């Protein structure tokens, strides 16, 4: 199946229904959206000389054009490459280079970053500014019929940071996304035809995926004019759209709930949260405020939004003696996947035992882009090795324990310590360092760097701060730098992060 068909079908069957709203107002209906996607596809072929299977970057702050380009790329039989708009230009350059992207569509606010990234890699990536003159011409250009693709062709190249510090492109096929889309209706939520999905979270990630089930049934997608998440604006949008659902990281849910205890949420249907741990107290507070409107999912770029689900019912089953345990879990396996927990030798473990979470099913990525070795390791024996540690209870509910790969999740964004450590180690006075997540009330976790210096050296912390700002996205930089004589090591000479984490936890008690 070609994912692009979802839009052609919606345009044929519900041409006049609103497809996109920008803020409170309708931006276009399904007929217009499909026409623009077909015109953009034609211009990509003709004017930009792009070819089938080319990777086309979308480096954008949330905006209606994201959807036009996304569907234009699918219509043209090319691969979408949505990139987190918060990334540093060096990170953007790495992804464009690694994916060998042929073109990049950017919003005006990101043009400078994009130009500098393209200059760094020195290849010919065609840059198109959405909303600009050229873009307008392209979106009114000569339309082409949808280009045929098979289910194993790539639809979305999803860059997720790797433990090695370098991001890796999870290859998501038309089939992966098709199954993930249909499974939304089975396990997550029903979408009424007058439903509205508000994109308050980045469309390059989870929110973008959840646009697809809405498109499939001819519901609308709403883009906040701020291009991001502002609780005040979201409350306003909820009041003027119907049957609203929204994907949000746990930190967003907390900010949303804290913002205004009296605002009317009658039109809010569902908040699906995930991407990082939600504390039980926060979850209860959100339920008190919003009522039965929460659903949790656990997923990964490698199995998009589709590992486990904690449905609405479990959020309100207060009489269940295991209610709190349920809220602390990530729910049970979604219908399209098998999920098991294994020991270090890949033996499946019974309930009650902690091990690595493995996933198998048609939503699991094809592999990592041009990384056959890491792909076969991660997909060994046909199972996706998530790198997350978890434990099942006897009812099949999974609780995540620790992230085996020391991933830090701050404000719903993944931060891989190794990436920051590598930057800090560039400083001539830094001998060793370890980057750890410290629990944080609002952000889930915040980054702390432990550093030991080369003998006889001193250091100005501002130099470290500058080094980070020059090389990585702002949100990844440490909020605290701690100098230590030496870092704790095990018998193999490896730094034992657990001890550092315990130290931070002891302090916060």
Residue with tokens 């912390």: 461
Token digits of residue 296: 């949790």
- Tokens 């315990």 — which residue? 502
Quickly count: other Cβ atoms within 10 Å of residue 390's Cβ. Answer: 26
Q: Which stretch binds ligand AMP (CB under 6 A): 44-52, 224-232, 269-277, 466-474?
A: 269-277
Q: Nearest-CB residue to ligand AMP? A: 301
Q: Is 275 near ligand AMP (CB under 6 A)?
A: yes
**Which residue's structure tokens are 């060793």?**
432
Among 7-15, 252-260, 271-279, 451-459, which window interacts with ligand AMP (CB under 6 A)?
271-279
Nearest approach, Cβ of residue 157 and ligand AMP (Å): 13
Question: Distance between CA 221 and CA 198 in Å, rounded?
Answer: 6
* Coil vs helix vs strand at 197: strand
**Residue 97 φ then ψ, to 5°:** -70, -50
184 interacts with ligand AMP by CB under 6 A: no
Q: Which residue of 153, 251, 296, 471 would you call a contact of ligand AMP, by CB under 6 A?
A: 296
Beta carbon nearer to ligand AMP, 409 or 487: 409
Binding segment (CB under 6 A) for ligand AMP, from list 89-97, 292-300, 345-353, 481-489: 292-300
Q: Does 386 bind ligand AMP (CB under 6 A)?
A: yes
Taking CB under 6 A as the binding criterion, the range among 36-44, 65-73, 399-407, 433-441 that sits at the site for ligand AMP is 399-407
Q: Decide if residue 414 touches ligand AMP (CB under 6 A).
A: yes
d(CA 296, CA 10): 28
Residue 121, SS3 per DSSP = helix
For 345, how many CA atoms within 13 A lie in the half-sphere containing its CB?
1
276 binds ligand AMP (CB under 6 A): yes
Instruction: Give the binding range for ligand AMP (CB under 6 A) out of 90-98, 264-272, 359-367, 400-408.
Output: 400-408
Return d(Cα 475, Cα 209) in angstroms, integer: 23
Contact 308, 298 (CB under 8 A): yes
Contacts of 397 (CB under 8 A, 6+ apart): 310, 325, 326, 329, 330, 331, 332
Residue 436 makes contact with ligand AMP by CB under 6 A: no
Q: Which is nearer to ligand AMP, 274 or 437 (CB)?
A: 274
- For residue 417, state whether it binds ligand AMP (rule: CB under 6 A): no
Instruction: Give the x-and-dash track for 223-262 against ligand AMP (CB under 6 A).
Output: ----------------------------------------
CB of 350 to ligand AMP, least distance (A): 22
Nearer to ligand AMP, 141 or 304 (CB): 304
Task: Determine if 277 is a binding residue for ligand AMP (CB under 6 A).
Answer: yes
* DSSP calls for 434-490: EEEEEEETTTEEEEEEEEEEPTT----HHHHHHHHHHHS-GGGS-SEEEE-SS--B-
Binding residue (CB under 6 A) for ligand AMP from 388, 421, 445, 446: 388
- DSSP letters, 168-184, are EEEEEEHHHHHHHHHHI
Query: ∠ at Cα 139 (53, 89), nearest 5°?
Result: 60
Residues 90, 95, 99: CA angle, nearest 5 degrees = 150
Minimum CB distance to ligand AMP smaller for 149 or for 403: 403
What's the number of CA atoms in the CB half-sphere (13 Å) around residue 500? 25
Using the rule CB under 6 A, is 169 a contact of ligand AMP? no
274 lies in the site for ligand AMP, by CB under 6 A: yes
Q: Does 429 bind ligand AMP (CB under 6 A)?
A: no
> Cβ 400 to ligand AMP, closest distance in Å?
5
Taking the C-alpha atoms of residue 437 and residue 284, their distance in angstroms, rounded to an integer, is 24
Mark 147-166 with x for binding to ligand AMP (rule: CB under 6 A) and - for no binding: -------------x------
Q: Contact region for ligand AMP (CB under 6 A) — 64-72, 93-101, 268-276, 471-479?
A: 268-276
Q: Rounded CA gap, 233 and 179, in Å? A: 32
φ, ψ of residue 143 to 5 degrees: the values are -75, 155
Structure tokens at 31: 């007929």
CB of 34 to ligand AMP, least distance (A): 29
Residue 122: CB atoms within 10 Å: 9
Residue 272 sits in the site that holds ligand AMP (CB under 6 A):
no
CB 217 within 8 A of CB 193: yes
Q: Is the dihedral of CA 408, 410, 412, 416 positive or negative?
A: negative
Residue from 55, 385, 403, 427 in contact with ligand AMP (CB under 6 A)? 403
- Answer for which of 103, 216, 400, 495 binds ligand AMP (CB under 6 A) is 400
Confirm or reject binding of residue 314 to ligand AMP (CB under 6 A).
no
* 220 binds ligand AMP per the rule CB under 6 A: no
Binding part of the chain for ligand AMP, among 66-74, 291-299, 348-356, 420-428 by CB under 6 A, reads 291-299
Chain mean position to CA 146: 27
Least distance between ligand AMP and beta carbon 14 (Å): 31
The residues of the shown chain that bind ligand AMP, judged by CB under 6 A, are 160, 274-277, 296, 298-301, 330, 386, 388, 400, 403, 407, 414
């Amino acid at each position: 199946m070609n994912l692009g068909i979802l839009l052609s079908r919606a345009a044929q069957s519900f041409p006049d229904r609103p497809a996109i709203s920008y803020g409170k107002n309708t931006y276009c209906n399904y007929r217009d959206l499909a026409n623009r996607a077909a015109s953009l596809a034609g211009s990509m072929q003709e004017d930009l000389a792009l070819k089938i299977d080319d990777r086309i970057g979308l480096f954008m702050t949330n905006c209606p054009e994201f959807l036009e380009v996304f569907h234009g790329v699918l219509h043209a039989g090319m691969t979408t490459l949505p990139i987190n708009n918060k990334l540093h230009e060096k990170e953007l350059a790495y992804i464009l280079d690694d994916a060998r992207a042929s073109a990049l569509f950017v919003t005006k606010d990101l043009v400078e970053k994009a130009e500098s990234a393209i200059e760094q890699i020195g290849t010919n990536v065609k840059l198109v500014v959405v909303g600009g003159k050229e873009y307008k011409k392209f979106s009114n250009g000569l339309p082409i019929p949808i280009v045929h693709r098979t289910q194993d062709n790539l639809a979305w190249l999803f860059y997720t940071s790797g433990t090695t510090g370098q991001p890796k492109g999870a290859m998501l096929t038309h089939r992966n996304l098709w199954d993930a889309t249909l499974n939304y209706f089975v396990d997550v939520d029903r979408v009424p035809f007058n439903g509205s999905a508000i994109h308050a979270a980045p469309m390059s990630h989870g929110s973008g995926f959840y646009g697809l089930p809405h498109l499939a049934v001819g519901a609308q997608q709403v883009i906040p004019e701020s291009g991001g998440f502002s609780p005040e604006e979201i409350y306003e949008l909820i009041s003027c759209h119907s049957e609203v659902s929204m994907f949000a990281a746990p930190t967003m849910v907390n900010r949303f709930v804290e913002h205004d205890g009296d605002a009317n949420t009658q039109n809010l249907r569902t908040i699906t949260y995930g991407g990082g741990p939600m504390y039980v107290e926060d979850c209860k507070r959100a339920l008190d405020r919003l009522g039965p409107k929460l659903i949790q999912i656990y997923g990964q770029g490698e199995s998009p939004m589709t590992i486990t689900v904690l449905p609405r019912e479990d959020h309100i089953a207060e009489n269940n003696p295991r209610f709190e345990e349920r809220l602390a879990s990530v729910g049970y396996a979604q219908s399209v996947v098998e999920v098991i927990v294994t020991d270090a030798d890949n033996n499946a473990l019974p309930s009650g035992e902690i091990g690595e979470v493995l996933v198998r099913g048609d939503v699991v990525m094809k592999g990592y882009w041009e990384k056959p070795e890491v792909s076969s390791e991660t997909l060994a024996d046909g199972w996706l090795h998530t790198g997350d540690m978890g434990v099942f209870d006897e009812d099949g509910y999974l609780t995540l324990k620790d992230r085996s790969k020391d991933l830090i999740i701050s404000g719903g964004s993944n931060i891989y310590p190794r990436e920051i450590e590598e930057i800090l180690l560039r400083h001539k006075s830094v001998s060793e360092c370890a980057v750890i997540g410290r629990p944080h009330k609002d952000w889930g976790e915040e980054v702390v760097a432990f550093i030991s210096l080369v003998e006889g050296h001193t250091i100005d912390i501002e130099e470290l701060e500058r080094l980070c700002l020059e090389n990585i996205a702002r949100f990844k930089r440490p909020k605290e730098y701690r100098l230590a004589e030496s870092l704790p090591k095990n018998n193999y000479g490896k730094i034992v992060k657990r001890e550092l984490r315990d130290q931070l936890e002891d302090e916060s008690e």
